[in-house]
Every structure is written in structure tokens, then in C-alpha cells.
Amino acid sequence: MTTAALSAALPMLALVTLTVLTVAALVAQPWWSEHRRARLWAQPFPAPWRRILRRRVPIVARLPLELQLRLKRLVQVFIAEKPFIGCQGQKITDDIRVTIAAQACLLLLGQARADCYPGLRQILVYPGSFVADRERPLGAGVMQAQRQTMSGESWTSGQVVLSWQDVVAGAADPDDGRNVTLHEFAHQIDQDSGVADGRPWRAGRATRRRWAIVMGQALERLRSEPSALIDAYGASDPAEFFAVVTEVFFERPAELAAEAPAVYDELVALYRVNPMRW
Ligand SMILES: [Zn+2]
């Protein structure tokens, strides 16, 4: 090959090499993730993490043993894969990682997959409640800037933002039906299908239709008659309704089943667990 022919062929060669490497990386990545998860699952759950679970997340001790084991495995994957970022000087410790991961993974106990929140990129942790600037629609396309104090937020770009003080308080009482971590991670499950619209992805058109009817009717009922069980904040919109009933489903299951049996059944089918049996 002449020098001129070689220099003409080089960019093509580089392009082919790059394409081959990209395809190889795409093919290898799921395999590598699976391999890493299998290795993590084989590792024993660290004793200090077990003590954090016992102290901070009392709901875990109620789970049947096989679900406790599954939860611990999911926590190991979650902590290995998801970066935690401290905000306003908050230091990130195992106490924070394990307490948040355990509650987040409670929502994944029934899923067949070994991964955790594929769309979630980071967990941002503030020491206490934080202030966020929001825009509120005033009508006729006019928006008003507003400052709000928040205990948690979930963004469609793959971030969950939490106040550590509120995370601890939410986990400490597993029977009050109030839990900011469950709430924000329910939004992440909802956002898995794109926007947060109170319709987490379900297979089957009939299943999706039934979900929409049951949840829509329950939301309308909450709007017309306040409930002592389901927080009025759930009446804001379908996304908040789903996040609020998720908190109640895990923390006051028997009461939810009595007050709104159809909603309870839909949540059993979605999360594939039945907290009333714990
Ligand atoms: Zn919310």
C-alpha cells in the first residue's frame, strides 16, 4: 500500500476500530453488571450494616426471613451502584447509605430483576429540610416563583433529594404511614415510565386500565371526603396520590386494605408483596 493510500485508509480503520470497541462495550456492560451483582450477592452482609438496620429501620425485622435476606442483597447492590452526595456540609456515612438504601429497596422486594432503580443516578442528602425554588402556575400561562421548604424530592433526571433528619424520623415509626424515603422512591418507580403521572409501568393493557380506574376513583374520593389514613397531600395529583398511598401500604397495610381494598390489591399486584402478612 502506498503512503497516500495508507493515509486515506487510516480514518476508516479508526472508525471501524471505534465502532467495534463501542459495540463490544455495549454487549459487555450488562454481562459485567450481572457478574458484579452476582459477586456482591455472594458476599456476607457486613455486621455494622446489620446493626444500622436494627437501630434505624425497624420495619426490616418484621419481614419474613427470605425477604430480609433479599433486602440485604438489594441494599448491597444499591450501595455499590448508587452515589450518595452530601449537601450543605452533610457528611455521607454508612449510617446514611444503609438507612436510605434499605427503605428504597423495600419497594423492590417483589421484583424479579437484580438491579435497583436503573434510572436513578444520585441520592442527594441534606442535613435537614431544604429550600427549593419552584414555579407555580397562576393560570393563563402565568407562572409565579415560589420558595418551598421540602423534606424530599424526586427528579425525572435521576436524582432523589432527601433531608436526613426526615429520613430518620420516617423510618423510626414504621406504623404511622408517613415515610419520606418510601414517598420519593415511589416517585422514582413512577418516573421509570417517563414522567411522574401516578401510572408506574405495568405489563398488559387491561392491567393498566384497571389501575387507572381504581386509582382515579380513589383520588376523587380523597378529594371529596378527607381520610384519617391517607394524607390530604395525596389529593394534589395522581403522582402524589401514588406516592402517599405507597407510604400507607407499607406502614399501615391492614387499615389501607380495610379503607380502600381495591387500591390495596393494585399495590399488592404492583409491588408483588403483601405487607399485611408481615
Ligand atoms: Zn411527592
How is 58-76 classified by DSSP, letter by letter?
A: GGGGGS-HHHHHHHHHHHH
How many other CB atoms are found less than 10 A from the CB of residue 190? Answer: 23
Q: Would you call 248 exposed, middle or buried from its count of C-beta atoms within 10 A (0-12, 13-18, 19+)?
A: buried
Report how many domains make up the chain: 2
Q: pLDDT under 70 in the chain at which residues?
A: 1-8, 10, 20, 22-31
Distance from the alpha carbon of residue 89 to the mean position of ligand 1, in angstroms = 25
Domain assignment present for residue 3? The answer is: no
Q: Identify the pLDDT of residue 7.
A: 65
DSSP state of 92: P
State the CATH number of the domain containing residue 86: 1.10.472.150
Specify whether the CB–CB gap between 248 and 256 falls below 8 A. yes
Q: Are residues 147 and 58 in the same domain?
A: yes
Could you list the residue range(s) of the whole structural domain that residue 119 is in? 32-173
Q: Identify the pLDDT of residue 263.
A: 98
Distance from the alpha carbon of residue 12 to the mean position of ligand 1, in angstroms = 51
**151 grid coordinates:** 423534606
Q: Are residues 48 and 165 in the same domain?
A: yes
Q: Identify the pLDDT of residue 29.
A: 66
Distance from the alpha carbon of residue 152 to the mean position of ligand 1, in angstroms = 8
Residue with cell 455486621: 47
Whole-model pTM: value is: 0.86
Q: Are residues 140 and 222 in the same domain?
A: no
Q: Are residues 158 and 206 in the same domain?
A: no
Q: Identify the pLDDT of residue 119.
A: 93
Distance from the alpha carbon of residue 168 to the mean position of ligand 1, in angstroms = 18
Specify whether the CB–CB gap between 186 and 242 falls below 8 A. yes
Coil, strand or helix: which one is 155?
A: strand
Q: Are residues 82 and 41 in the same domain?
A: yes
Question: Which pLDDT tens digit goes with each residue over 154-166?
Answer: 999 999 999 999 9
